[in-house]
Amino acid sequence: METSDFITVLGREGRSLVSAAEEAGLDSEVPTCPGWQVRDLLLHVGRVHRWATRHVAERLTEPAGLPEDAVPDDRLGGWFRDGLHSLVGALDDASDGLRCWTFLPGAGDGRAFWARRQAHETTIHRIDAELAEGQALSPVDRDLAADGIDELLAGFHSRSRSRVRSPRPLTLRVRTIDGAASEVWTMRLTGREPSVSRGEEGAADCELSGPAELLYLALWNRLPHSGGLTVTGDADVLRLWREQSAIQ
């Protein structure tokens, strides 16, 4: 996907998120974010959008602190939309090759990184808002979902901060079965941060396969590892994933 595609996704998913949140009501529980109500979801994503905007617009080369805006309930929707608009505008105005702080391996230039990261941040939390509302989930584009699997596995869980650990070596394989060609990731779990490679390498203790959209939502722990997905091998590997893979 191109950077411009991620910016388009960010705007669309942000508008869908706030609409679903308003339909659900600010006091509604968010089942996929234990302890959160919808107002917490909007505050979190709105703060992250403003945080990302600062890095892009100000070309910050060191991490800024996450803002702690206190927003009254009656202004929350407008405040969220203002932040989304500012982030999309900052990314549209930024130049390719922008140098600013990023935080995932192989992030590339700042504009590409923040467009991609915020597209996925917003898409996953749009899912949360729809689940809080109790409505059917809007679809996730297949190419976006496949990219999001890659960002999660090869980006977030290649870092030392990943909490996915196993006292005995285990291998988890993830395979898409839709699209022009299958995409495969191999994740080796030990007592250290996971080692992730793209492609099929050696035997796997467990393989999770299915359409990219369902894999994306299952690996982000928004849907169960069932219902349209196939698990082969040791299902305890997936239980370990669900227990340890939440992003901090």
In the chain, where the domains are located: 3-133, 144-244
φ, ψ for residue 189, nearest 5 deg: -105, 130
* Between residues 136 and 14, the one the model is more confident about: 14
Superfamily grouping for domain 144-244? SCP2 sterol-binding domain (3.30.1050.10)
At residue 14, the pLDDT reads 98
State residue 147's pLDDT score: 97
User: Looking at residues 225-246, what average pLDDT do you find?
Assistant: 92
**Angstrom distances, CA of residue 171 to CA of 28, 68, 71, 126:** 38, 40, 45, 31
Task: Give DSSP secondary structure letters for 58-104.
Answer: TT-SSPPPPP-----GGGHHHHHHHHHHHHHHHHHHSPTT------S
Fold of 3-133: Four Helix Bundle (Hemerythrin (Met), subunit A) (1.20.120)
CA dist., res. 132 & res. 20, Å (int): 8
User: Does residue 54 have a pLDDT over 80?
Assistant: yes
Burial zone of 223 (CB within 10 Å; 0-12 exposed, 13-18 middle, 19+ buried): buried
What's the average model confidence in pLDDT over 122-142? 95
pLDDT computed for residue 107 by the predictor: 83
Tokens of 231: 């698990």
Please report, for residues 5, 19, 70, 197, 224, the alpha-carbon distance to residue 219 in angstroms, rounded to integers and kept in the order given: 23, 25, 32, 16, 9
Comparing 12-21, 94-103, 123-132, 220-229, which segment has the lowest mean pLDDT? Answer: 220-229
Amino acid at 14: G
For the chain, percent of residues with pLDDT exceeding 90: 90
Q: Is a pLDDT exceeding 60 seen at residue 248?
A: no
Tokens 């369902």 belong to 214
Q: What is the mean pLDDT of residues 192-201?
A: 92
pLDDT tens-digit series, residues 140-174:
999 999 999 999 999 999 999 999 999 999 999 99
Asked whether the beta carbons of 165 and 140 are under 8 A apart, the reply is no
- Residue 11 corresponds to which amino acid? G
Mean pLDDT of the residues in the chain: 95
pLDDT band at residue 36 under the 50/70/90 scheme: very high
- With cut-offs at 50, 70 and 90, classify the pLDDT of residue 224: confident
Residue 209 pairs in a beta bridge with 175, 230
